[in-house]
Structure 1
Amino acid sequence: MTSNDFPVLWPVGTRWADNDMFGHLNNAVYYQLFDTAINAWINTSTGLDPITTPALGIVAESGCRYFSELQFPQDLMVGLAVTRLGRSSVTYRLGVFRTDAAESKAQPVTALGHWVHVYVDRVTRKSVPIPDAVRALLATATVDQ
């Protein structure tokens, strides 16, 4: 799988604290990269304010497979693709790429993840439909599995 398989490529950077004692990005960091890319893309593209919006996308499921190591300092790209768009939930396929790999669009992902957001009411925490602005954006990144 290459960055060609992802309709959205979002830039992310690594931090000194991301490396673990083995000299590579700790596995938990990849989930932070996924979360950052998804929410930055949605908030930047729709103008929604995550502090005041009445509907929140909370993580119901996530997973990641690792194919090659990354370290700080490194600029990366997270590829995003929507593989399922339901009434109140969305499933993403996510890929982490070295910046040079994302630019050439010819190298494999370093990590491949999946992520499910379920939208809930900020107060009641009951599921609600995905907000229209978010749904329209998600539709632009929908791919066949």
Structure 2
Amino acid sequence: MARVTTLPRMWWPMMGRPSTRLPYCPVCGRTSPLEQHHVVRRGAGRLFDASGREVPKPTVTLCGFGSNLLDADGRPYCHGLAHHNRLHFRWAEVRGLEEPLGGLPCPWEGGHWEYLLLDEPADYLTALGMDGWRRL
């Protein structure tokens, strides 16, 4: 049986990229509670490569649990912000590096994760057109 890709194209650039697992939230710095957030939502569909293998969805460590937006003190959890469309991620390709480390291999060659933190919710395609993206 042939496997059919059901993942919308807007998510393809992030698929198969490295996950980021840290002992703290890379957005706000909290050390607990922490969860792995799927950068491409699990229910968004599936992507298969040319050989028929499913391409994994990357994750990033974020503070919070479930889709809870605020802690008991009213401070936002980054995982909740992501689920409420106020925190977005994208993969930024790095091209044309001119030996940034004096000819040594560059640890970020190929690309890196970036995030955009918003005051108000925005859909992903709108967020991609906004300024303010920061390296994760």
Which category describes the TM-score, using the shorter chain as reference length? under 0.3
* Greater share of helix: 1
* Greater share of strand: 1
Give TM-score scaled by structure 1 length: 0.27
Give TM-score scaled by structure 2 length: 0.28
